[in-house]
Chains A and B, each alone.
Chain A
């Protein structure tokens, strides 16, 4: 039914168009809530709805004051910085460990492959609130111990705890994307490299890594967004110094909702558009590469 045949009956024509209208409405449902907050964030008043001035497209109805607040007020800049510190480091940890493990898992004779896989995927499956409470009871004494015995400052320990907790949450995504890329990886290439005298490390960085890089990067983006968007675990494991952007938004939504949250949301939407574009480009590249490699 992708194209309406010329002999279609009236009923078929009606259904064809009404089906498309239904789909259009569902797409509207998916995208409208995200799009609508963008104009609302330019509201000159502290309202969460379109004012009369905005509807008549009066320039006075619009302002950048919520953005000024977002980028100028320490209540928001501090969490933004925290998020930008925690997420990349957590990503780095989960990508480096995750890629190694994925390569190990995709070898042909791995004992206990299924249980190992189940354990590594579990952070994605276990409800976040359970992970968060488990980590809370683990990291609280660990943090105290590190402060007392290793002479680390309280803030530093707080960051370490949150970063490690977020790294665990990102691991399943790295494992899944990298193992998926390795399925299409031509193993004779590493053998050829070894045959020509390359040691395993050289083979990995010069032959295998460039080929699986798209999978690694998209895993990294998933891990990044998991950490960047995470609030439950950081609420339990972190302290006020490690307050992240989602945490600040969560508190804003729960206690007193300030319109600055719309500016924050718009910034995040733009950010996710950038991420989405990157992932799409990578996926196409990886598909092209796979199409070219002999399999």
Chain B
């Protein structure tokens, strides 16, 4: 009997082989873990990830031309814009038929404002022709070519038709080209003129200001973190409150504080006058420019630099620096060659965190940035809520998100998302 049990598979209490039983238990455990995660994962996926994905998809989507003018798009297929000739009567007739439907559904003005982003003037062209088309009879009023050109010379303009043709496919790279200051000219894609390069300038400014903010946070945060890590615990905990209080204070409170302080009639100017540094007539302009944004955002993001630096510095044993000094290093050499290299992970974590947070900032630049101190986010908000050019906003947003994701990936490599510490 003992022979059979030794050669056969090991059995669990209920008689199944132990391996099978163990596998089953593991599977059950996995399923239980997934079941606990599932509600939240679905919630985040449905209300956050998918909406953002579909919003970003608007940056290439261009179905409006095809949906509003299906017959025209079909007729334009055979038209070759490289010949520099106006399309023939069939295209005009198709457009008349399409517009008849569009005017009834009131979609032609929407299409007009969509095409207006690409070719200024299209919006009024469509609005006007809508009124004329209402009076036309499709069966009796042909041919339409002259009628269109009579109603508005724009319909006899070659560029109008080229725009329609260029934007008739369901997907376009037009928004992305716009977002990096390129346009689709008569002879292919070309860069915009110098003074129209607003987005590249804005991206560079956003990156540059985020770098400046990161640099000033590091400059101010490093000494403080060092002090906190090297003081006795009791004093450090007290001083820590001075770092954590701004961290917990509402963003708008801090922004309003800076708005109040930096004003021309504000406290800082008053103090400077009282000290005699400036005269009453030459009050400094410190708000509604880049300076205001940088100061306010450095203040807002400083705790995000200090906290990771502090948590890394806390783990550096003080005996290393003492050992260096006992071996004859000066204070500076001991710091630079021994202490500083060990604090680099903290610098990396803090710097990337501050950089990620600052390139996506919206509220503070909007309130204290004026025109020169705004970020790419403010432009996205403008296109979403004021100019309603959602495709361009989505393209700008995609580029911004890609930059943030890249940094996030770097952050994950250096620090690990699991190691993010709060408070």
Q: Which residues of A contact B (CB under 8 A)?
A: 1-2, 12, 15, 19-20, 22-23, 26-27, 29-31, 33-34, 36-37, 40, 47-50, 97-98, 100-101, 103-105, 107-111, 116-123, 125-131, 133-138, 164-165, 167-168, 171, 173, 176-177, 179-180, 218, 222, 225, 228-229, 231-232, 236, 246, 249-250, 253-254, 257, 261-262, 265, 268-269, 272-273, 275-276, 279-280, 283
List A contacts of B366 (CB < 8 A). Answer: 254
Segment from B40-48, B75-83, B340-348 that makes contact with A: B40-48
Interface of chain A, main secondary structure: helix
Chain A: CB-nearest residue to B260: A48
Give the complex CA separation of A273 and B250 in angstroms.
11
B interface residues, how many (CB within 8 angstroms): 91
List B contacts of A101 (CB < 8 A). Answer: 36-37, 39-41
A133-B384 CB under 8 A given contacts A27-B224, A100-B39, A127-B404: yes
Contact across chains for B252 and A26 when beta carbons are under 8 A apart: no
Chain A: CB-nearest residue to B35: A104
17 new A-B pairs (CB below 8 Å) besides A50-B270, A253-B367, A272-B249? A34-B254, A49-B267, A50-B267, A100-B37, A125-B404, A127-B401, A133-B55, A133-B393, A137-B55, A168-B44, A180-B421, A231-B251, A232-B381, A253-B256, A262-B260, A265-B252, A276-B245
Contact of B422 among A133, A171, A177 (CB under 8 A): A177
A23-B34 CB under 8 A given contacts A116-B41, A250-B252: no
- B284 contacts A by Cβ under 8 Å: no
Q: Which residues of B contact A (CB under 8 A)?
A: 26, 29-30, 32-37, 39-41, 43-45, 47-56, 58, 220, 223-224, 227, 230-232, 239, 241-246, 248-261, 263, 265-267, 270, 299, 302-303, 331, 356, 359-363, 366-367, 377, 380-381, 384-385, 393-394, 397, 400-401, 404-405, 408, 412, 417-418, 420-423
List B contacts of A167 (CB < 8 A). Answer: 43
Contact of B359 among A23, A121, A127 (CB under 8 A): A127
Give the complex CA separation of A228 and B253 in angstroms.
12
Contact of B250 among A33, A110, A229 (CB under 8 A): A229
* B50 CB → nearest A CB, Å: 8
Give the complex CA separation of A225 and B422 in angstroms.
13
Chain B: CB-nearest residue to A177: B422
Give the complex CA separation of A131 and B331 in angstroms.
48
* B147 CB → nearest A CB, Å: 39
A129-B256 CB under 8 A given contacts A36-B261, A272-B245: no
Give the complex CA separation of A37 and B258 in angstroms.
10
Chain A: CB-nearest residue to B361: A127
Chain B: CB-nearest residue to A229: B250
Give the complex CA separation of A250 and B32 in angstroms.
45
Chain A: CB-nearest residue to B49: A119
Contact across chains for A33 and B266 when beta carbons are under 8 A apart: no
List B contacts of A131 (CB < 8 A). Answer: 48, 52
Give the complex CA separation of A125 and B380 in angstroms.
17
Contact across chains for A23 and B401 when beta carbons are under 8 A apart: no
List A contacts of B246 (CB < 8 A). Answer: 30-31, 34
Contact across chains for A29 and B220 when beta carbons are under 8 A apart: yes
Contact across chains for A130 and B384 when beta carbons are under 8 A apart: no
List A contacts of B380 (CB < 8 A). Answer: 129-130, 133
Contact of B55 among A12, A29, A134, A283 (CB under 8 A): A134
Contact across chains for B245 and A273 when beta carbons are under 8 A apart: yes
A31-B418 CB under 8 A given contacts A122-B49, A130-B380, A254-B366: no
Q: What are some 11 contacts across the A-B interface (CB < 8 A)? A: A19-B227, A34-B257, A123-B44, A133-B397, A134-B53, A171-B44, A228-B250, A232-B362, A250-B252, A262-B260, A273-B245
Give the complex CA separation of A109 and B36 in angstroms.
13
Chain A: CB-nearest residue to B405: A125
